[in-house]
Amino acid sequence: MGLGARIRGLRENVNLTQKALAEKLNIPHQNLSNYERGFRQPDYETLKKIADFFEVSTDYLLGHSSDTKTVVQEEKTSYNVTDDPDLQIAFKDASDFSEEARRQAIDFINYLKEKEKAKGRKNINTDND
């Protein structure tokens, strides 16, 4: 997923039109259209404006998500379920989610759990599906 798709996704999540968002960012809406379709790339100033507006990192917008370890390194709690720092952070993030998002996170993890189980049992079945 590229920069354009991320901008578009964020914009649609807040139900803004290109023109409306462009106005808030003080840029022509044609430019925003070009950014979202990947035909142009905003300069750094505009990139930061977009990141600020949506309160996301530029790493996220640029798809530089490969950790960057920029995150809060908190001490391990007594309730330490994992050694994976990224998972810990995700866990804490999810704790602050709305109930709906929390539910989605739980569902997805349960889905992965089933998948993991199936993987562990791969020798049992000869073929399926």
Chain residues binding DNA by CB under 7 A are 17-20, 27-31, 33-34, 36-37, 39-43, 46
Please give the C-alpha separations between residue 29 and each of 6, 16, 24, 39, 62, in angstroms, as whole numbers. Answer: 17, 12, 10, 14, 20
Q: Which does 34 bind (CB under 5 to 8 A by kind): DNA, a copy of itself, none?
A: DNA
Which residue, 33 or 53, is less far from a copy of itself as judged by CB?
Answer: 53
* Residue 36 binding result from a copy of itself, DNA, none, given CB thresholds of 5 to 8 Å by partner type: DNA
102 is in the binding site of which of a copy of itself, DNA, none (Cβ under 5 to 8 A by kind)?
a copy of itself
- Residue that the structure tokens 């050694």 belong to: 83
96: left (phi over 0), alpha (psi -120 to 50) or beta: alpha
